[in-house]
Chain A
Amino acid sequence: MATTQTLTPSMKRERRASLRRNVFYLVLIAIGLVAPFVAYPVFLMKVLCFALFACAFNLLLGYAGLLSFGHAAFLATGGYVTGYLLASYPALTPELGMLIGTAAAVVLGAIFGALSIRRQGIYFAMVTLALAQLVFFFYIQAPFTGGEDGLHGVPRGHLLGIVDLRSNLAMYYFVFAVFLFGFALIQRTVHSPFGQVLKAIRENEPRAVSLGYNVDAYKLVAFILSAGLAGLAGSTKTVVFQLASLTDAHWHMSGEVILMTLLGGVGTLFGPVVGAGLVVSLQHLLAQSPLGNWVGPILGVIFVICVLSFRSGIVGEAMKMYRKNFK
């Protein structure tokens, strides 16, 4: 059958758009593949870990409209569980450790989610913040986290027992693969029927309820997915830097991921990646400059500016401009 002859103009446009999208993705992947030869791989890995963290957070805020102020808890849980396991059981391969760390974050996410979706809007944010603080206090006192000192000297080990991850280049490609997996999962989720229902809930929850959707179940699944991916980011980060610390569990971290997402663009796929890249670079640059002590206040100022006059974020604004000028 010569299907091409029956294509309507709109279908052709759609095809061209999807071709363009695929080329765009391929170019980005290619950039990701050569990046470690241009920039410092450890820095890139840090960016990728935080980018995955921010993408996971954005799945919740951008697509389900739920502002979690407690995502640090999942990052830290993934990190601590993976770090503890890898440090205590040398036979364990890193991917297994990360899997268990992620699973722990999923379980915690199910608990957080089930509790916090019982309240809405501003209360949801406060509940998640309070729960994350509870987790923070737990990690200060728990015997396996090393308290204030954190976990150090977590071995990177051999991926699948074969690939030595002590090489930064091998580690980078592994982290890149993990990031691509997380990003693809989010991309698929957002564009699936499930994602459409999430957006419907974000736009008008009572209507979604009246259409017969079990809104709480959708929110809970989105929350668990987001928590799990945040945990995966934390696990990966621990393997890369070979440590897990309380910084990851502190509410500052929950605020940072909000800033990354907001700066890059809430509800856009690439916004959190851009935001994470910028915030991590900024922290990196400031740390070496005389303004090193002013990271907090500077992030605060960016926060205020974003909220006041830059609410679509960088990617959001760029897409607006693109639509205005090219369509």
Chain B
Amino acid sequence: MTMIFGVPLAVFMGQLLLGLINGAFYALLSLGLAVIFGLLKIVNFAHGAMYMLGAFATLLGMRYLGINYWAALFLAPLAVGLFGMVIERVLLRRIGHLDHLYGLLLTFGLALIFEGSLVNFFGVSGARYPTPELLQGGYQTGFMFLPKYRAWVLLAAVVVCFATWYMIERTRLGAYLRAGTENPALMQAFGVNVPLLVTLTYGFGVALAAFAGVLAAPLYPVSPTMGSNLLIVVFAVVVIGGMGSILGAIVTGLAMGLIEGLTKVYYPEAANTVIFLVMILVLLLRPAGLFGKEA
């Protein structure tokens, strides 16, 4: 059997794939955080809760409304996105003029509310969501077994990430968004409806999180606390990459997932913490982050 540094190739590749999938989730979530931060200057602490709501919308949609996975892939982000827009309109808008730390605190409060309420109804143990029929089973490649669903998650996440990148960097709407990030007052003066843009941006950002939640539903147990622990890792990813660059967020997310996967192969005790250690290293060597410009 082929070995890589004393580890069987199949195990090595399997962990690498798991790492990449984690990385895809990091990328989707940090991308949403970066998009929201760009325009609202708010670090959305409710992002993990939105991811969790996406997964729950999928689970409950199937249980009570008979919505299948493929429909949920569109409906759950839509529902959560609309919910996010309401939150932006009703709550976040009121504190837009304040220190941005208040945005972090407000969304933290929201995360506590969503998470804590759902814990009361569903407990913390989590429910299973079946893998859609079309994606059951897997491919036997020469060196490893590749489950179809995992391949799909990776593909879907990467496609959505790059579609987002394309939209922001190459389309007219994206140009508005980038201009709004630079100077919202001037945009408003040019006749662009900036408040609407802000609402849509927040909705879009949390919809990305919800999309990640739908992808995660068949992979991980769907539980109210699934988002918060993930979010803290994503914060570290964001510190590593810096929130200034869309592509930076995607690349850093995937890379951190890979590093985590590799650590699981060679030193499993540190798998939980390796991303935080990378963050410390980055803070020491390049305090502004890999892709960041210090404001």
Contacts and interface: CB of A to CB of B under 8 A. Distances in A.
Given A293-B120, A308-B95, A127 B283 contact: yes
A303 B109 contact: yes
A262 interface: yes
A109 to B, nearest CB: 15
B273 interface: yes
B interface residue count range (under 10 / 10 to 19 / 20 to 34 / 35 or more): 35 or more
Contacts, number: 115
B116 A294 contact: yes
Nearest to A140: B272
A115 B94 CA distance: 33
A307 B105 contact: yes
A119 interface: yes
Interface residues of A, number: 39
Is chain B's interface secondary structure helix, strand, loop, or mixed overall? helix
B95 A307 contact: yes
Interface string B257-295: 000000000000100110011011001100100000001
Nearest to A255: B108
A301 B235 contact: no
Nearest to A299: B112
Interface stretch (B96-104, B160-168, B179-187, B199-207): B96-104
Contacts of B94: 308
B206 to A, nearest CB: 17
A133 B113 contact: no
A125 B91 CA distance: 21
Is chain A's interface secondary structure helix, strand, loop, or mixed overall? helix
Nearest to A308: B94
A127 B279 CA distance: 8
A295 B233 CA distance: 25
B287 A134 contact: no
A216 to B, nearest CB: 11
B31 interface: no
Interface in A274-327: 293-297, 299-304, 306-308, 311
B283 A115 contact: yes
Given A115-B283, A115-B284, A308-B106, A122 B100 contact: yes
Interface of A: 67, 115-116, 118-123, 125-127, 129-131, 133-134, 137-138, 141, 251, 255, 258, 262, 293-297, 299-304, 306-308, 311
Given A121-B295, A131-B276, A307-B109, 9 more contacts: A115-B280, A130-B235, A137-B272, A258-B105, A297-B117, A302-B109, A303-B109, A307-B105, A307-B106
